[in-house]
């Protein structure tokens, strides 16, 4: 029988992970509505938010319950594989916006291979999640630069929301790598829970940008 953790920082991390998962689920359900035309871009984002829901749910369980032995190892493997798919769908969606759908489709097998490489590297390290955070930091740089350029050129509705989302995600990365960070304000927050909270705000901006660009194509 699963037992809830009694570590305050882990309890808060579990709650904030769950908040991120619920948000991702609502956005997933929003974009699968028939009012949005089916297409490569929409499908990439639907996959992204669907996987985000799974990742957030798994993270909430890992943080929130006392799980040891093979079960915990198995859950981390599933989480890292899901994070690989998370990165693949996000990267393909961004490439589709910045370079075009044809190039995004063409790069699918190579981006998927990168996702698999990420998985194998992550499961081979004790601090495997930091590999994900490093990839996130790298991919957010072209996100900020690319969408800024598209915003100035007026080439994509919602581009500036994407820029803000990218900047907030970079801030989340900075908080995540500051592993000694911890403070108490009603609850006890550490680098994990702060990462989740800041990333949640970033996701809201990404949602606004994606929604605006998809609505422009209706």
Q: For 96-133, how does the pLDDT look when each residue is reduced to its tens digit (9 = 90+)?
A: 999 999 999 999 999 999 999 999 998 888 777 888 88
Nearest-angstrom CA–CA distance, 94 and 99: 8
Q: 187: which strand partners?
A: 185
In percent, the amount of the chain with pLDDT more than 70 equals 99
Cβ(188)–Cβ(8) below 8 Å: yes
pLDDT in tens, 138-177: 889 999 999 999 999 998 999 999 999 999 999 999 888 8
Domain boundaries, the chain: 8-216
- Residue 218 pLDDT grade (very low, low, confident, very high; cuts 50, 70, 90): low
Higher pLDDT: 56 or 179? It is: 56
Residue 1 is predicted with a pLDDT of: 61
Cα-Cα-Cα-Cα dihedral sign, residues 205, 208, 212, 215: positive
Q: What angle do CA 159, 145, 51 make, to 5 degrees?
A: 65
pTM: 0.93
End-to-end alpha-carbon separation of the chain, Å?
49
Of 85, 101, 108, give the one whose Cα is nearest residue 37.
101
pLDDT (average), residues 69-93: 91
pLDDT tens digit sequence for 8-28: 899 999 999 999 999 999 999
**Contact assessment for residue 159 and residue 151, using Cβ atoms and an 8 Å cutoff:** yes
CATH node for 8-216? 1.20.1070
């Amino acid at each position: 029988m699963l037992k809830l953790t009694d570590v305050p920082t882990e309890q808060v991390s579990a709650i904030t992970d769950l908040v991120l998962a619920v948000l991702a689920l609502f956005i997933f359900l929003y974009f699968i509505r028939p009012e949005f035309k089916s297409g490569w871009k929409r499908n990439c984002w639907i996959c992204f938010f669907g996987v985000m829901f799974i990742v957030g749910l798994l993270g909430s369980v890992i943080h929130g319950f006392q799980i040891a032995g093979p079960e915990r190892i198995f859950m981390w493997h599933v989480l890292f594989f899901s994070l690989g798919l998370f990165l693949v769908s996000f990267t393909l969606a961004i490439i589709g916006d910045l370079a075009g759908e044809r190039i995004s489709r063409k790069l699918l097998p190579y981006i998927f291979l990168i996702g698999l490489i990420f998985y194998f590297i992550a499961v081979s390290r004790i601090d495997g999640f930091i590999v994900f955070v490093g990839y996130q930091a790298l991919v957010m740089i072209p996100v900020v630069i690319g969408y800024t350029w598209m915003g100035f050129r007026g080439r994509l509705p919602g581009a500036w929301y994407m820029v803000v989302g990218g900047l907030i995600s970079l801030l989340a990365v900075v908080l995540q790598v500051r592993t000694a960070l911890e403070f108490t304000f009603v609850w006890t927050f550490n680098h994990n829970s702060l990462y989740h909270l800041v990333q949640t705000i970033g996701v809201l901006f990404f949602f606004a940008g994606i929604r605006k660009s998809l609505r422009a194509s209706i």
